[in-house]
Amino acid sequence: MCQVVDLAPTTAATAPPTRAAANVISLYSDAYTAATTISNVPWDDSNYEEVSIAGDNVLKIAGANFLGIDFGDYLDATNMTHLHMDYWIADDWQAGQVLNPKLSNHAAQAGETNALDITNAIGSQAEVQNWQSKDFELTGDRESLKEFLITVAGKSDLYYLDNVYLYKTYDLPFDFETSPVTADWSGFNGAGITVEDVAAPQTTGNTSTKLAKIVRDGGEVYAGVFTIVDTALDFSTKSTITARIWTDAPIGTPILMKTEEDGNP
């Protein structure tokens, strides 16, 4: 007896980067804690099932035109700037092939009020039968997301989906007014940090409403705090970093700032 086996990836998608919990809303991924539950809607013509690929859970999706996924909660993604998803298309490439994601916003929590439609054309055979990792900038209202949809065309009736999440980019410059927040930072060797409201005497000559307060409570002399930005700093074009600092430490106390390459401190 001859058995037909669906074409499938043999490796997992690339693991997403570490992100502060405040900077990500995970819809489906082993890498982050899920923000809500998901379920298949009854009005699409596709279905998904969870399968394991190289030890990683992914969604296997089969259908003709579009997939609809309902969230168990309304998600406020106002502060998120991008949608990320990884996909693996089993079919050979054809002209006109697309795999378009969509986020459905239900502002009044009583049906769709607007949608974030994203165009994602599949350009060649090189973009199928291997993992593709895509990031899309978000525009439009997204304070109450309730559904995630994918529309396919040009023969994409079997594909695999992983690492679907919304995230907020985090780069210099920042002023602590809206970001970063305390959760974006970590302390080491006896130091800690909180982002909090400005209060006297830090109000003198300062128009900001927020600041980062760093306290070394014992610990090592080199105790400090660090944060990780999304985009590497390019010192070939910009050679200076500035910061406004207030301290009650004795005159002559050194305050050091250091940059490190990811994975190469």
80-117 pLDDT tens trace: 999 999 999 999 999 999 999 999 999 999 999 999 99
- pTM attached to this predicted model: 0.76
Q: Element (H or E) spanning 105, and its range?
A: strand 98-105
Task: State which residues of the chain have pLDDT below 70.
Answer: 1-5, 265
Provide the phi-psi class of 129: left if phi over 0, else alpha when psi is between -120 and 50, else beta. left
Three-state DSSP state, 184? helix
Q: What is the pLDDT of residue 219?
A: 83
Distance CA(84)–CA(7), nearest Å, equals 24
Q: What is the pLDDT of residue 3?
A: 58
Q: Are 53 and 10 in contact (CB under 8 A)?
A: yes
Please state the domain extents for the chain. 21-167, 170-265
If one looks up domain 21-167 in CATH, what number appears? Answer: 2.60.120.430
| Closest-CA residue to 86 (of 31, 5, 147) | 31
| Closest-CA residue to 24 (of 12, 34, 14, 15) | 34
What is the per-residue burial (b if ≥16 Cβ within 10 Å, else e) of 125-151?
eebbeebbeeebebeeebebbbbbbbb
